[in-house]
Amino acid sequence: MPAEQRRAPLFEAIAAYARSGKVSFHTPGHKHGRGVYAPFRRFLGRRVFMADLTLLEEVDSLHEPRSVIREAQRLAAGTFGSDETYFLVNGTSVGNQTMVWAAVREGQRIVIPRNVHRSVFAGLMLTGARPVYVTPPVLEDWGIYGNISPEQVVEALRANPGCEAVMVNNPTYYGQTSDLAKIVAVAHRAGAECLVDEAHGPHFGFHEALPPSAMACGADLAAQSTHKVLGAMTQASMLHLAGARVDRARLRMGLQLLQSTSPSYVLLASLDVARLQMAVSGRRLLDRVIGMSRETTRALNRIPGIRCFGPEHCGRPGAHAFDETRIMLHVDWPVSGFEVAHRLRDEWKLQPEMADSQNVLFLVGQGNTWGQMKRLVTAVRRLERDYRGHIASRPSLPLPALTPGRVVLTPREAVLASARRVPLAEATGEVSAELLSPYPPGVPLVAPGELITKEVATYLQGVLRAGGRINGQADMTGRTVRIVEAPTSGSAKDVDFDKMLAFVLNQDAPGEPEKPRH
């Protein structure tokens, strides 16, 4: 490891500025914490506010890095195996949006798994690109969507020649990966860029027991949530670039358009030190994490009615490999995963990452301890005793098929079209004007521009009855949905600009305000 990897240039510059004693006549308004509400300052401590800086010469500029941020990003590229790395303060969502922005233009096509993150759909809305959906296999014995295969990508490209890009998840939320190296090769042979949503895989590449990283597989772009698994703070992510296929000028334009112009230096510093930590101690830290996860999985698998996903369940459609830092606990009890997660939270103070009707997902990280893992096993054993002998059947909510081919409009066309609101139960056969993504697990079942099928509408109503929620809808209750309204002629409005000018000059009273269109 190069000696320079033991440095954290951005963090060092921020610490030096905080110690300098310079008087702040610049943003932020709390002035190194002196103007912060006192109980909040006492809770967080003074130093976090001293590190909360703005665009100063001493600490560089994220959008035009020339010194310490540029050096920190260069070191990150060396650690994560990219040609260039960009720090993100708006999460991996902005990384996904920027990747789509850089790869496709309006009307161009991009192959995407139907279970991509909602931020990818935001990228489609921004660009006007046309999605070519690939249906992920359903792992029916686990009740989840898996990952796509190289064969599926080949067929999508064969049916849609001239696609500009291919998007892949590495891994899915539940930890399953695809044969990414083959998908990259397929994309490149077809003349397409390969973009990877690696939000849940920033640790890949630092231990041989884990799946390979996107950069190791030859991907062109990969966005990683450094905060989800590694030691960065929430919302701090990275975007990695390799090779010559990406339009770098357009990529940088996307970052400037989509990222905040007031980036948090606390988040940026956390990226710098998270990189240093992985460069110096990554394998050792992950060796311990994987060991804890494996031992806990073995103990949980011995509990009646519990199954944990593992490498032994891979090598089939939907699961090429698995991230063993995750514990995906499948519940074969007469209760749902929601109830198990609820009891673990309330009775044992154990907070899972998420739960669905059949599974509870735990993320094991470098901050977890052996004691916490033993507590988890003890809690699940106690719950099994409570449910032992119960004959009640568990509520069943089978996943609907994510069948492509229902696209009527591009996501951009749909969200810009006139729309009206109808009850979800009456939306079958209509074109959705919004994203319908039940949470958990957050997989969009309907994208803007798609027909709403009876199967999906019924499933969404079942999610609401089971206590879940639907993200992406303007109606936060989930009971109504916006659908595309057929365009009508003569919709342009006549505006009396003379009357408007008179109002501005206080010479006349305004007319009735126009009613907003929904």
Q: What is the pTM of this model?
A: 0.92
Quote the pLDDT of residue 403. 64
CA 226/CA 234 separation, integer angstroms: 8
- Give the containing element (helix H, strand E) for 387: helix 370-387
Quote the pLDDT of residue 391. 54
> Strand, helix or coil at 391?
coil
Among 44, 43, 45, 54, residue whose Cα is nearest residue 17: 54
Flag whether pLDDT at 27 surpasses 80: yes
CA 318/CA 48 separation, integer angstroms: 43
CA 399/CA 387 separation, integer angstroms: 25
User: Looking up tokens 């054993």, which residue turns up?
Assistant: 381
Among 152, 138, 226, residue whose Cα is nearest residue 182: 152
Read off the pLDDT of residues 375-386 as tens digits, 9 standing for 90 and up: 999 999 999 999
328 bridge partner residues: 361
Q: What is the mean pLDDT of residues 298-318?
A: 97
Flag whether pLDDT at 73 surpasses 60: yes
Quote the pLDDT of residue 505. 80
> Strand, helix or coil at 308?
strand
pLDDT band (50, 70, 90) for residue 489 = very low
pLDDT band (50, 70, 90) for residue 283 = very high
Flag whether pLDDT at 508 surpasses 60: no
pLDDT band (50, 70, 90) for residue 374 = very high
Flag whether pLDDT at 512 surpasses 60: no
pLDDT band (50, 70, 90) for residue 371 = very high
Flag whether pLDDT at 190 surpasses 70: yes
At how many degrees (to 10) do helices 370-387 and 265-301 cross? 50
Whether a cis peptide bond, with omega within 30° of 0, leads into 441 is yes
Contacts of 388 (CB under 8 A, 6+ apart): 304
Flag whether pLDDT at 393 surpasses 80: no
Quote the pLDDT of residue 261. 95
Read off the pLDDT of residues 209-268 as tens digits, 9 standing for 90 and up: 999 999 999 999 999 999 999 999 999 999 999 999 999 999 999 999 999 999 999 999
CA 410/CA 126 separation, integer angstroms: 11
Read off the pLDDT of residues 409-464 as tens digits, 9 standing for 90 and up: 999 999 999 999 999 989 999 999 999 888 766 678 889 999 998 888 888 888 88
Quote the pLDDT of residue 180. 98
DSSP letter (8 states) at residue 88 = E
Quote the pLDDT of residue 474. 83
pLDDT band (50, 70, 90) for residue 465 = confident
* Structural domains present in the chain: 296-387 (3.90.1150.10), 406-518 (3.90.100.10)
Q: What is the β-pairing status of strands 138-139 and 359-363?
A: unpaired
Q: What is the mean pLDDT of residues 332-353?
A: 95
Among 284, 286, 285, 298, residue whose Cα is nearest residue 374: 298
Flag whether pLDDT at 284 surpasses 60: yes
CA 309/CA 326 separation, integer angstroms: 9
As a dihedral over the C-alpha atoms of residue 442, residue 448, residue 453, residue 457, rounded to 10 degrees, the angle is 50
- More reliable by pLDDT, 487 or 438: 438
Flag whether pLDDT at 275 surpasses 80: yes
Angle 294-297-299 from CA coordinates, rounded to 5°: 110
Flag whether pLDDT at 490 surpasses 70: no
- More reliable by pLDDT, 508 or 188: 188
pLDDT band (50, 70, 90) for residue 488 = very low
